[in-house]
C-alpha cells in the first residue's frame, strides 16, 4: 500500500529553530491539525501515549517511574503528553539533568487543568502553536504574494489565483484538517466528525468536568452564527438561553474556557494603537474559530447553501482568511489583531510583527467592495500616530478574486489563492 502523502508544514522551520535553542518543545493545537505527523518528521524516537495496546502500561509507568518513558533517541516525541501530566515535570527535570538542547518534542491537543503540573517549564520547554493547514500548505494557493516580502517593502505584487468562488466555498466547508486535505473530502464528513467529537467528548476531557452536549452544541452554533463579528459573550449566552434558560454566566465562561483550552475557539484581540487624535477604540474580541469548517459543520452548511447566502459567505470567508493569515504571520514572528473605533472605522486584520512593523487588511469576498475597503484602510493609516507606531508596511484588500495587483493609491489587492508566508 502506498504511503499517504505528507504535506510539509510551515511550522517545521520554527520547530527546528526551537529545538536548536531549547531542551524541549511543546507543539500545541487542535485535535487532528497534524501535530503528531509534523513532530514525527523531526523526531528520532516516538512514544504514543494513546497507543491502545500499550496505554495502560504507559500510564502505570507514568504513575511510578515516568523517566523510563523518556528513554529513546533524541529528539524523543511524547505524543499527547497531557494524558499523563506528570510527564511535563519529568521532561523538565530530564532536560536539566542532561544539559543538552533538542531532547524532547511534546504534543498536546488540550491544555491540562490548572495545577496539573508543578513547574511552568520556562527556559526549558518552548511552545509552538500549530493550526490547521493554510491554503498554501495545502498547495491550493500558488504563493505568488509573500507576506514576508511585503513587510520587507516589496509591494509590486503580481499573481493570478486559480480558485473560483465555488471552490472557496468548498475549501471553507472542508477545512484545513490534513486528512480532509489529503483526501479532498467533498462529503465534509471529517469536519462534522471533528465537531461531533468536540461536542460529545473533547470538551469534557480537558478538565474532567462533564458538560451537557446539547449546551456545547448550542454554544458552538451561536459562535458560528456570530463568527467574524464583535458580538459579546452576553449575546452568545442569550442565544443558548433561548433554548436552555438555566444556562448561567458561570456556565458560559466554563464552556468557553474549555473550548479555548482544546483550541477550538481562537478569538481575535483588538489592536490599540496610538492615534493622532483621541478616538475611543473598541477593545472587545472578534469571534473566531481556529478553522472555518467548524462553523459550517455545526450549522450543517454546505457549499451550495453558503453560495446562496452571500452575507454568511462573507463572514465565513473572513474566517478562512484569518486562519491563513495567522499561519503566515506566525512564520514572520507576528500576530493578528482587529481594529474598530467608535466611528465604525475598522480593519478586519492588523498584522503586527514583534519589531513593531504592521500592515492593515480588509477582507472582501467580491470586487464591488474593494474601492470602499481601500478608502477605509487609507483613513485608518492617516489616523495612526506614525511617530509611535510607524507607517504601515502595506495596506491590503484580501479577496476571493483572481488577480493580485497594486492600485494607483498604493493599496494592494491580493486574492487569498495567491498569498503565502
For residue 176, which of 2, 314, 11 has the smallest C-alpha distance? 11
pLDDT tens figures, 293-325: 999 999 999 999 999 999 999 999 999 999 999
The residue-averaged pLDDT of 206-233 equals 93
Q: What is the overall mean pLDDT for the chain?
A: 93
In a domain, 138, yes or no: no
Domain match, 26 and 169 both: no
pTM, two decimals, is 0.94
Q: Residue 69's CB: how many other CB atoms inside 10 A? A: 22
In a domain, 55, yes or no: yes
Domain match, 162 and 107 both: no
The residue-averaged pLDDT of 178-196 equals 95
pLDDT of residue 151: 98
In a domain, 280, yes or no: yes
Report the C-alpha gap between 343 and 379 in whole angstroms.
12
Is 122 within 8 Å of 22 (Cβ atoms)? no
Name 26's bridge partners. 106, 127
Domain match, 37 and 103 both: yes
Q: Is residue 6's pLDDT more than 60?
A: yes
For residue 376, which of 404, 406, 352, 350 has the smallest C-alpha distance? 350
Paired sense of beta strands 403-406 and 412-415, if any: antiparallel
Q: Which one of 129, 158, 190 terminates a domain?
A: 129
Q: Is residue 218's pLDDT more than 60?
A: yes
Which domain range does residue 288 map to?
Answer: 145-420
Domain match, 15 and 96 both: yes
Domain match, 166 and 280 both: yes
Q: Which one of 103, 129, 155 terminates a domain?
A: 129
pLDDT of residue 120: 56
Domain match, 206 and 67 both: no
In a domain, 286, yes or no: yes
The residue-averaged pLDDT of 35-62 equals 94
pLDDT tens figures, 331-346: 999 999 999 998 889 9
Query: At 2, is the pLDDT very low, low, confident or very high (cuts 50, 70, 90)?
Result: low
pLDDT tens figures, 119-147: 556 668 999 999 999 999 999 999 999 99
pLDDT of residue 77: 97
pLDDT of residue 303: 98
Is 328 within 8 Å of 11 (Cβ atoms)? no
Q: Which one of 104, 129, 154 terminates a domain?
A: 129
In a domain, 137, yes or no: no
Domain match, 176 and 216 both: yes
Give how far the C-alpha of residue 207 lies from the chain's centroid of Cα atoms, to the nearest Å: 22
In a domain, 373, yes or no: yes
Burial category of 165 from C-beta neighbours within 10 Å (exposed 0-12, middle 13-18, buried 19 and up): middle
Domain match, 63 and 200 both: no
Query: At 1, is the pLDDT very low, low, confident or very high (cuts 50, 70, 90)?
Result: very low
Give how far the C-alpha of residue 291 lies from the chain's centroid of Cα atoms, to the nearest Å: 7
Rg (CA), the chain: 22
In a domain, 136, yes or no: no
When divided into structural domains, the chain yields a total of: 2
Report the C-alpha gap between 17 and 33 in whole angstroms.
21
Burial category of 179 from C-beta neighbours within 10 Å (exposed 0-12, middle 13-18, buried 19 and up): middle
Domain match, 31 and 123 both: yes
Domain match, 65 and 159 both: no
Per DSSP, the residues of 363-404 read EESSSTTHHHHHHHHHHHHHHB-HHHH---SEEEEEESSSEE
Share of the chain above pLDDT 90, in %: 86
Query: At 5, is the pLDDT very low, low, confident or very high (cuts 50, 70, 90)?
Result: confident
Domain match, 98 and 165 both: no
Name 335's bridge partners. 352
In a domain, 374, yes or no: yes
Report the C-alpha gap between 363 and 268 in whole angstroms.
14
CATH number of 101's domain: 3.40.50.300
Domain match, 300 and 386 both: yes
Amino acid at each position: 500500500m502506498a504511503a499517504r502523502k505528507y504535506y510539509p508544514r510551515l511550522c517545521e522551520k520554527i520547530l527546528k529553530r526551537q529545538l536548536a535553542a531549547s531542551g524541549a518543545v511543546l507543539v500545541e493545537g487542535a485535535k487532528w491539525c497534524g501535530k503528531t505527523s509534523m513532530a514525527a518528521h523531526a523526531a528520532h524516537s516516538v512514544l504514543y501515549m494513546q497507543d491502545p495496546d500499550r496505554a495502560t502500561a504507559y500510564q502505570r509507568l507514568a504513575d511510578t517511574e515516568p523517566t523510563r518513558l523518556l528513554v529513546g533517541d533524541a529528539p524523543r516525541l511524547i505524543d499527547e503528553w497531557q494524558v499523563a501530566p506528570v510527564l511535563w515535570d519529568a521532561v523538565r527535570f530530564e532536560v536539566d539533568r542532561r544539559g543538552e538542547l533538542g531532547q524532547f518534542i511534546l504534543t498536546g491537543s488540550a491544555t491540562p487543568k490548572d495545577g496539573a503540573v508543578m513547574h511552568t517549564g520556562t527556559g526549558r520547554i518552548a511552545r509552538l502553536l500549530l493550526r490547521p493547514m493554510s491554503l498554501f500548505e495545502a498547495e491550493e494557493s500558488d504563493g505568488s504574494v509573500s507576506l514576508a516580502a511585503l513587510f520587507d517593502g516589496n509591494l509590486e505584487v503580481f499573481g493570478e489565483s486559480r480558485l473560483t468562488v465555488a471552490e472557496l466555498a468548498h475549501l471553507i466547508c472542508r477545512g484545513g484538517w490534513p486528512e480532509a486535505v489529503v483526501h479532498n473530502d467533498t462529503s465534509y464528513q471529517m469536519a462534522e466528525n471533528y465537531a461531533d467529537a468536540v461536542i460529545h467528548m473533547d470538551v469534557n476531557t480537558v478538565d474532567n468536568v462533564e458538560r451537557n452536549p446539547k449546551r456545547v452544541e448550542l454554544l458552538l452554533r451561536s459562535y458560528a452564527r456570530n463568527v467574524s463579528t464583535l458580538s459579546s459573550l452576553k449575546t452568545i449566552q442569550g442565544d443558548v438561553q433561548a433554548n436552555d434558560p438555566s444556562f448561567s454566566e458561570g456556565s458560559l465562561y466554563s464552556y468557553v474556557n474549555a473550548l479555548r483550552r482544546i483550541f477550538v475557539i481562537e478569538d481575535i484581540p483588538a489592536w490599540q494603537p496610538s492615534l493622532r487624535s483621541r478616538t475611543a477604540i473598541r477593545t472587545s474580541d472578534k469571534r473566531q474559530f481556529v478553522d472555518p469548517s467548524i462553523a459550517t459543520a455545526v450549522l450543517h452548511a454546505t457549499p451550495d447553501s453558503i453560495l446562496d447566502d452571500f452575507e454568511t459567505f462573507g463572514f465565513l470567508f473572513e474566517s478562512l482568511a484569518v486562519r491563513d493569515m495567522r499561519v503566515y504571520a506566525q512564520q514572520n514572528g507576528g500576530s493578528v489583531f482587529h481594529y474598530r473605533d467608535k466611528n465604525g472605522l475598522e480593519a478586519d486584520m492588523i498584522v503586527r510583527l514583534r519589531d513593531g512593523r504592521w500592515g492593515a487588511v480588509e477582507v472582501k469576498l467580491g470586487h464591488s467592495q474593494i474601492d470602499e475597503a481601500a478608502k477605509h484602510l487609507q483613513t485608518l493609516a492617516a489616523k495612526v500616530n506614525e511617530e509611535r507606531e510607524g507607517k504601515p508596511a502595506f495596506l491590503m484588500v484580501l479577496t476571493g478574486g483572481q488577480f493580485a495587483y497594486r492600485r494607483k493609491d498604493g493599496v494592494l489587492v491580493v486574492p487569498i489563492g495567491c498569498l503565502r508566508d
